[in-house]
Structures are given as structure tokens and as C-alpha cells.
Amino acid sequence: MSNALQLVSQVRSDLKRLNERILHHPYLNALEGGRVSRDALRVFAGQQYHIITSDLRSIALLVSRHGNLPSRKFFLNVLQGEAAALDALHSFARALAMSGDDLEAFEPLPAAHAYCAFVAWLALYGSAAELAGAFLVNFAAWGANCGRMSKALKERCNFTESDLAFFNLFVNMLPFEEEAVAVIQGGLDRGIQPRLIHRAARLLQGYELMYWDAMAEAAGLQASWGV
């Protein structure tokens, strides 16, 4: 029987280099240096709108598929967090002079949209354990980058705390590792192959890097080093 804690540790070790590329992305360096325009920040907001609205539906679908499993509580909490993030995103958008209609009309960028497309694929075809494993690795990197963005936007661009609620929500996200590991262990006990959980985490982190590369390109910056 596979052990979820050992698997998570192995996945994190295998993806360490990829995570470092996300955590030290040129986009974040440029933002901290005051080299990201408000128009580029509008691109960020517009892409996040499409990602979050897609993820809401994807997670709801997963709950519908696996609502009889103990993982239900974990994903309902994730669903509530995504709903709160969508509300908070509107505060950031208003600070950028964007309306709800502006967010809806913003065209998704393929490289930025790949993340939520894969989440939707997992919700439709994957297991609860695969998505929990992918989120466990991904949310840590995303939360860290949101922390850097919040600090830079406040110090360099004069955004207020209420403007930045979207970012701070992910920075202050309640720890959920124990719950995610339990979902992963439940999947392993039901016969989900460890390689599928590892693959889900690797692909989602690869799409996360693509997202930041897309943001860098939209800001007129050199992207990362490729996936």
C-alpha cells in the first residue's frame, strides 16, 4: 500500500526546480521593480477572472462526481475559497477601473488558460486524489507569489489593503495539507496509481509556469526559461 506522505514528499522533491522557476519568475521581479504597467495588471485581472470562474465549475463537477467520498468536505472548502477569491478579484479590478463586464469581455490567453483547462480535465476524467495532490503542490507556490505581488502593489503602486484582498486571501489561506494528504491516501487505498497523482501535480505546475510566462509577455517582458 502506497503512503501519501511519502508520495507528496517525492513529488515536491521532483518538482523543486520547476517550483523555483515559478517562485523566482521575471514577472515578479519586474513588478517589484515598478516595471509592470496598469494595463498589464488589467491583463492579470482578466485572466484570473476566467481561471476562477472555470475552476468554480470544475470543482463543483468533481464534488458531483465524488460526493459520496470523504474528500467531499475538502473540495467544498476549496469551492468556498474560490468563490471568495472571485468576490475579492472584483475589488482589485475596480482599483484598475475595470467593471464586471470588462472582466467578462477580456479574452483568455491560451498559455494563461491552460491551467484551468487542465483543472477541468481532472474534474471530468481524474480522481479526487489527483486534483488534491496537484492543488497541494500548486497552492503553496501560488500563495507565495500572491504574497510578493501584494507587497509590491502596495509599496510600488499605492494599492490599498482592500484593493489587494484577492492576493491576501491566498497568502492567508488556512493550511489544508493534512486534509489534502487524507484525500490522496484515500485515493491510493482505492487503487489510484501514484504516478497519476505525480503526473497531475507536474502538469499543473507546468501550466502554472506558463501562466506567469503569459503575464510576462503581456507586460512586454522576457518570459521564463520555458516549460
CATH number at residue 63: 1.20.910.10
CA distance linking residue 89 with residue 48, whole number of Å: 8
Please enumerate, as own/partner, the contacts of 6-9 that have beta carbons within 8 Å and a separation of 24 or more. 7/133, 7/184, 7/188, 7/194, 7/197, 7/198, 8/133, 8/136, 8/137, 8/181, 8/184
- CB–CB of 120/165 below 8 Å? no
Question: Which is more confident, 104 or 226?
Answer: 104
Which residues have a Cβ under 8 Å from the Cβ of 150 and sit 6 or more positions away?
A: 164, 167, 168, 171
Helix/strand/coil for 192:
coil
* pLDDT band, residue 68 (cuts 50/70/90): confident
Distances (CA, A) of 146 to 111, 157, 172, 173, 179: 19, 15, 10, 11, 22
pLDDT digits (tens, 9 = 90+) for 31-67: 999 999 999 999 999 999 999 999 999 999 999 998 8
Say if residues 139 and 82 touch (Cβ distance below 8 Å): no
pLDDT at 226 > cutoff 70: no
Residue 225, in any domain of the structure: no
Helix axes 72-95 and 177-189, enclosed angle (nearest 10): 140
Q: Is residue 223 part of a domain?
A: no
Report CA-CA distances (Å) from 86 to 10, 65, 126, 163, 225.
33, 23, 24, 13, 30
> For the chain, what is the domain count?
1
pTM for the full model?
A: 0.94
Determine the average pLDDT of the residues in 198-213.
98
Range of the domain at 107: 4-218
Asked whether residue 162 is domain-assigned, the answer is: yes
Per cent of the chain over pLDDT 90 is: 89
Pull the grid cell for residue 109: 490567453
